[in-house]
Each structure stands twice: as C-alpha cells, then as structure tokens.
Amino acid sequence: MKRKLMTKKKQVNARSAAAEIVQKVLVDGAYTNIAVNKFLRSNPLEDLERRLMTELVYGTVKAAGTLDWYLEQCVTRPLDKIEKEILSVLRISVYQLLYMARIPNPLPAMKR
C-alpha cells in the first residue's frame, strides 16, 4: 500500500509574488497579464491577497519610470548595479508609499 506524502505547500504572500512578477516583466521582458495569470494558476491566493498582488504588479509596471526616478534620488549607486530582486522590492515599496491611499496589512513585509 502506497502512502501519499503530505507536502506542505509554501504560503505565498501578495508582496513576494508581486516582486517576483515585476522582476519577470521589467527585467526579463515578460508580458504583465501573462505573467500574472501564469503565477495565479500555479499559486492560488486568497481574494484580498490576489487583489493586492494584482494592484502592486500593474501599478508598479505602469509607474516604473517615475518609481525609478524617485529611487535614483535616494540610493547611492546606479539602479542597474542593484540586485534585480532587491530593485523589484524597492519599486513595489515606493509604489505603495506614493500611489496607495492605504497599505493593507504591512506586517508580513516587516517580518522578513
């Protein structure tokens, strides 16, 4: 008799998902809608997390030029010298601060 292995699926949050997708779009040249849909097919999120992730991805991609300008005013090295994963997180963070009236549930991002 075979036993099924119980594997615990890694819990994905909206911000880490958004950072991953933003990197694929802005660095690797993926299409935003395709990258979002592909991610959601393999990583279903609860409704609020899905909506937050979608807002972060589309908003960050749309405002990327403005976000990069703000980041260039604050960092001490050129943006192309910053690790791509970190740059994606910075872009999303600045997007939330500048464009979102309310930042939902900030604690998961601060626990890292």
CA dihedral (20, 25, 28, 34) in degrees, to 10, reads 90
> Residue 82: inside a domain, yes or no?
yes
Q: How many residues does the chain have?
A: 112
CB 23 within 8 A of CB 85: yes
Q: Containing domain of residue 24, as a range?
A: 14-102
> Residue 36: inside a domain, yes or no?
yes
Q: How many CB atoms lie within 10 A of CB 11?
A: 10
User: Domain total for the chain?
Assistant: 1
Each residue's pLDDT tens digit, 22-39: 999 999 999 999 999 999
pTM (2 d.p.): 0.82
What CATH number is attached to the domain comprising 79?
A: 1.10.940.10
Each residue's pLDDT tens digit, 39-86: 999 998 999 999 999 999 999 999 999 999 999 999 999 999 999 999
> Residue 110: inside a domain, yes or no?
no
> Residue 109: inside a domain, yes or no?
no
Rg over CA atoms, the chain? 16
CB 6 within 8 A of CB 45: no
> Residue 111: inside a domain, yes or no?
no
